[in-house]
A and B are shown apart, each in its own frame.
Chain A
Amino acid sequence: MVKRREGFTVDVSLRVAAGEACGLFGASGAGKSTVLACLAGAETPDDGVIRLDELTLFPPPLPLHRRPIGYLTQDASLFPHLDVSQNVRFGLSNGVAGGSEDWIAELREKLQIGSIWHQPAHAISGGQARRVALARMLARRPRLVLLDEPFSGLDRHLVRELIAAIAEWHALLGFALLVVDHDAEVLARICPRALAIEEGRVVQSGAWDALRAQPATPLLAQLLAPL
């Protein structure tokens, strides 16, 4: 897919297998988030083709509400006028399958949001909001999950908790997973495969060890080097 930006063009070609977890890694402004936004439908590519199994997401742009995609950013984007329970059920109130009470209860228990279940979404902490956003996204059983810096601004122990939760649900539901983060260590804990992006182009793809052993560019070497 191609997306023209002021000053540079994002032009990437990538394939993620069903159930695979892949980390998009690169410097700030490399175009990682643009890739996710185009996949989610938040932005429309200028050219190219995007497919999700039998579904063509682009072209023409498939309406967002018909995309079986979960999209989580550093801003949990909970609906502030609804409580936690209503937020989690939001995606199930439109005739979507898989919305049984057992399923909701499982999400509530495993993500430890039972104690805040009836609290207004605007009254919970940042860490809780991420877990609620994760539950809301997973409730629809998406086939592809896009996470754009989901750990940004969280304490270290909250990041660990969230990583564990994402890994667990990924194994359980088997969705394809694309994660963007600037921290290679965090990404490597969720995603066995890395895709390194520089100035809108994929410069290297493979296992993290391979990237660290032989980085394709000097910038990538710098980004992967320990502090």
Chain B
Amino acid sequence: MIRRAAAVVFAIALLYPLAGLFAPVGPWRWGGTETAGAVWISLSLTGIAMVIVVVLGTPMALYVARSSTRERLWWQAVLLISVLLPPLALGILLSLAFGPHALGAFLDRFGLQMTNTPLAFVVTQTYVSIGYYVLGAIAALDGVSPRLELQGRLLGHGPWSVFWRITFPLARLGFAVALSLAWVRSLTEFGAIVITAYYPAGMPVALWTNLENFGLPAVMPLLLVFLLTALPLPWLAHILAQRRFARA
């Protein structure tokens, strides 16, 4: 009972900043930057980024998780560098690395613009979140004994089959957490996105432009919509993982 009460206090403290939604900032302004458009851009492009993150990040996590301790430390350093970069710095580095004097000139030949385009948006989101996903997935895979995978292989299943039948079911809760972190990190990204893809304006940039142009009354409704649309997907991932875990 005391523990639950402590958890409740913790949760209240954690969510306390939301009390700001009830602050007397004047009548909420639902106009401002086109809300539905910003929501759509954020959710759809983050969705695409998450597919890329999972497709590229999962094999990497598998490789690192099953590599020797010494090799693993090197890979983890690489992943930590990507996570540790301040978003604004990452945005600047991305715009330079994919700029007209670097890879951008090559991509431009194929009509791929790396500034203020949906492509730039997705690439930036992928960069800011993939490190979180891979590190989380490695931790999830660490919970699965390699001996179980070995038995699966000796029972006639190839690596892919073993992953789907043994590794993933046992690590799914950790994978759900890793994906949630990547989703949230990607969806809420502002510092890097504002440098590389100010347009198309997703939710964080729309919040900023609303604040600049119309003040707090235009920020509050967008913030509420942001919370309501961003929460369901990672929450659903947790619910599904928990359910299957409980059944297993």
Query: With A79-B148, A80-B248 in contact, is A67–B158 under 8 Å at CB?
Result: no
Give the total number of A-B pairs whose CB atoms are below 8 A apart: 57
CA distance A91 to B151 in the complex (A): 9
Q: How far is the CB of A73 from chain B (nearest CB, A)?
A: 7
A40 CB contacts on chain B under 8 angstroms = 150, 154
B150, B153, B154, B158: which has the most chain A beta carbons within 10 Å?
B154
Q: Are B166 and A69 in contact (CB under 8 A)?
A: no
Q: In residues 129-153 of chain B, which contact A (Cβ within 8 Å)?
A: 145, 147-148, 150-153
Contact digits for B105-134, partner A, Cβ 8 Å, 1 yes 0 no? 000000000000000000000000000000
CA distance A79 to B203 in the complex (A): 44
Tell yes or no: B81 within 8 A of A by CB. no
Tell yes or no: A70 within 8 A of B by CB. yes
Tell yes or no: A90 within 8 A of B by CB. yes
Query: With A71-B151, A77-B147, A80-B170 in contact, is A65–B248 under 8 Å at CB?
Result: no
A42, A81, A91, A137: which has the most chain B beta carbons within 10 Å?
A81
CA distance A63 to B166 in the complex (A): 18
Q: Are B147 and A136 in contact (CB under 8 A)?
A: no
Partner among A71, A81, A82 whose Cβ is within 8 Å of the Cβ of B154: A71
Q: How large is the interface on B (under 10, 10 to 19, 20 to 34, 35 or more residues)?
A: 10 to 19
Tell yes or no: B66 within 8 A of A by CB. no
CA distance A40 to B161 in the complex (A): 19
Q: Tell me the nearest residue of chain A to B244, going by C-beta.
A: A81
B248 CB contacts on chain A under 8 angstroms = 80-82, 120
Contact digits for B201-241, partner A, Cβ 8 Å, 1 yes 0 no? 00000000000000000000000000000000000000000
Contact digits for A25-42, partner B, Cβ 8 Å, 1 yes 0 no? 000000000000000111
B152 CB contacts on chain A under 8 angstroms = 79, 90
Tell yes or no: B155 within 8 A of A by CB. yes
Query: With A65-B157, A94-B156, A96-B156 in contact, is A42–B166 under 8 Å at CB?
Result: no
Contact digits for B76-102, partner A, Cβ 8 Å, 1 yes 0 no? 000000000000000000000000000
Tell yes or no: A75 within 8 A of B by CB. yes
Q: How far is the CB of B18 from chain A (nearest CB, A)?
A: 37
CA distance A198 to B199 in the complex (A): 71
Tell yes or no: B104 within 8 A of A by CB. no
Q: How large is the interface on A (under 10, 10 to 19, 20 to 34, 35 or more residues)?
A: 20 to 34
A69 CB contacts on chain B under 8 angstroms = 154
Partner among B147, B153, B157, B169 whose Cβ is within 8 Å of the Cβ of A73: B147
Q: Are B156 and A63 in contact (CB under 8 A)?
A: no
Q: Tell me the nearest residue of chain A to B155, going by C-beta.
A: A91
Q: Tell me the nearest residue of chain A to B148, going by C-beta.
A: A77
CA distance A91 to B148 in the complex (A): 13
CA distance A64 to B153 in the complex (A): 6
Partner among B153, B155, B166 whose Cβ is within 8 Å of the Cβ of A140: B155
Q: How far is the CB of A142 from chain B (nearest CB, A)?
A: 9
Q: Are B153 and A75 in contact (CB under 8 A)?
A: no
B151, B161, B170: which has the most chain A beta carbons within 10 Å?
B151
Q: Are A75 and B147 in contact (CB under 8 A)?
A: yes
A120 CB contacts on chain B under 8 angstroms = 248
Q: Tell me the nearest residue of chain A to B248, going by C-beta.
A: A81
Q: What 5 pairs between A and B have smallest CB-CB spacing? A: A91-B155, A64-B153, A81-B248, A94-B156, A77-B151
Known: A71-B154, A77-B148. 20 other contacts (CB 8 A): A40-B150, A64-B150, A64-B153, A64-B154, A65-B154, A65-B156, A65-B158, A65-B161, A69-B154, A73-B147, A77-B151, A79-B152, A80-B248, A82-B248, A91-B155, A91-B157, A94-B155, A94-B156, A140-B155, A140-B156
Which residues does A use to contact B, with CB under 8 Å? 40-42, 63-65, 67, 69-71, 73, 75, 77, 79-82, 90-91, 94, 96, 120, 136-137, 140
Which residues does B use to contact A, with CB under 8 Å? 145, 147-148, 150-158, 161, 165-166, 169-170, 248
